[in-house]
C-alpha cells in the first residue's frame, strides 16, 4: 500500500514522505521440509539439523517458509543465523538468540572446522585430494549466480576431500573446506571432475537449473538428476563455545536419502 491506497502498478512514482507497506501473506510459497531436528540447545544458541529443501533466509519465492521464520514461530523469539548453507544442502547450522551471540558464534566458526558429506559421480581416488583453486563468477553460464573454480577467480579457496566408499559409479566423499566461499565445495568438485549427484547448478546436466526454474521439479528431471536435491550434507562442526570456551563437536547424521541411494547402487552394481 502507498499512502493508504492499494497499488498494483510497479512503476507508480513515489514523491517522498509517503508511507509504503507490503503484505505478502496471500502469496503462496513453495512447500518445504519442516522436519528440523534440534541437535543442541542452551540459553545462547541452538544447533539444528536443517532438511534438504529449506532456505535459511527469506529470498526469492520464500518468505515465511524459511528456517529462520519456522524457528522464530516455534520459539516465539528472534533467531540469528551465525552462518548459512544452501537451500538444498542439509545438515548442521547454528542460530543464536541475539545478535551479539551470533557474532561470537561466527568468530568461533571461523576458528573451528567443518565437515561435509557428498555423493558424487565417478570413482573418487583413494588418496586425499586437495583442490586449491580460486573462485569467481562463471561468465560462460546463463545463470548469473553460478561460480567457477579456476584461473580468473578472485577469491582464494581450498578444500580437502577424502573418499569414504564407492557404490557402483558413485562415491561418498568427506569434504573439508579450509575457506568459506559461496558454493565452494560444489564448484571445487565440479572443477575436479566429480560433480555432486542431484546438483541442478553444478552437476552433470548443465540445463537442469534453468529447466527447474521454468518447469519446477518433474519426474523426467529426477530421472536425469537421480536424486530430488543436491546430495551435500553439513555433517559436523567443531567450535569453541563462545561463552564457556569449551570444545563442542556437533554431528548431523547421514540423511536417509544418502543411505538409500548408496544401497540402491550396490544392489544394481
Q: Which residues belong to the active site?
A: 86
The C-alpha atoms of residue 89 and residue 56 are separated, in whole angstroms, by: 10
Length of the chain: 269
Distance, in Å, from the CA atom of 12 to the CA atom of 86, rounded to the nearest integer, reads: 35
* Listed residue (161, 142, 159) closest to 214, CA to CA: 142
How far is C-alpha 174 from the geometric centre of its chain's CA atoms?
16
**CA–CA separation, 265 vs 16, rounded Å?**
62
Q: How far apart are alpha carbons 143 and 57 in whole angstroms?
A: 21
Task: List the helix and strand counts (H, then E) for the chain.
Answer: 6, 12
8 A C-beta contact, residue 32 and residue 54:
yes
The CB-side HSE value for 269 (13 A sphere, CA atoms) comes to 13
Rounded-to-integer distance, Cα 212 and Cα 202, Å: 13
SS3 content of the chain, % helix, strand, coil (to 5): 20, 30, 50
C-alpha cell at 105: 558464534
Tell me the C-alpha to C-alpha distance, in Å, between residue 238 and each of 160, 163, 166, 176, 203.
16, 21, 27, 12, 29
Amino acid at each position: 500500500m502507498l499512502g493508504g491506497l492499494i497499488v498494483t502498478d510497479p512503476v507508480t512514482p513515489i514523491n517522498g514522505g509517503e508511507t509504503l507497506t507490503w503484505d505478502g501473506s496471500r502469496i503462496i510459497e513453495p512447500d518445504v521440509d519442516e522436519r528440523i531436528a534440534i541437535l543442541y540447545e542452551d540459553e545462547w544458541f541452538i544447533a539444528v539439523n536443517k532438511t534438504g529443501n529449506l532456505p535459511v533466509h527469506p529470498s526469492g519465492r520464500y518468505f515465511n517458509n524459511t528456517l529462520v521464520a519456522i524457528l522464530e514461530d516455534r520459539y516465539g523469539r528472534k533467531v540469528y543465523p551465525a552462518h548459512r548453507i544452501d537451500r538444498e544442502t542439509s545438515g548442521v547450522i547454528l542460530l543464536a538468540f541475539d545478535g551479539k551471540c551470533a557474532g561470537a558464534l561466527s568468530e568461533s566458526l571461523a576458528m573451528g572446522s567443518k565437515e561435509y558429506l557428498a555423493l558424487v559421480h565417478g570413482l573418487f581416488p583413494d588418496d586425499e585430494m586437495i583442490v586449491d583453486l580460486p573462485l569467481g563468477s562463471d561468465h560462460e553460464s546463463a545463470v548469473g549466480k553460478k561460480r567457477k573454480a579456476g584461473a580468473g577467480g578472485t577469491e582464494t579457496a581450498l578444500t580437502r576431500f577424502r573418499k569414504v566408499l564407492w557404490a557402483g559409479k558413485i562415491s561418498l566423499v568427506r569434504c573439508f573446506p579450509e575457506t568459506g566461499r559461496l558454493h565452494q565445495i560444489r564448484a571445487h568438485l565440479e572443477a575436479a571432475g566429480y560433480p555432486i549427484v542431484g546438483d541442478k547448478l553444478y552437476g552433470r546436466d548443465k540445463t537442469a537449473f534453468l529447466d527447474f526454474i521454468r518447469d519446477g521439479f518433474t519426474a523426467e528431471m529426477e530421472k536425469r538428476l537421480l536424486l530430488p536435491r543436491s546430495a551435500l550434507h553439513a555433517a559436523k562442526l567443531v567450535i569453541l563455545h563462545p561463552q564457556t570456551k569449551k570444545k563442542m563437536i556437533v554431528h548431523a547424521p547421514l540423511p536417509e536419502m544418502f543411505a538409500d541411494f548408496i544401497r540402491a547402487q550396490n544392489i544394481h552394481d
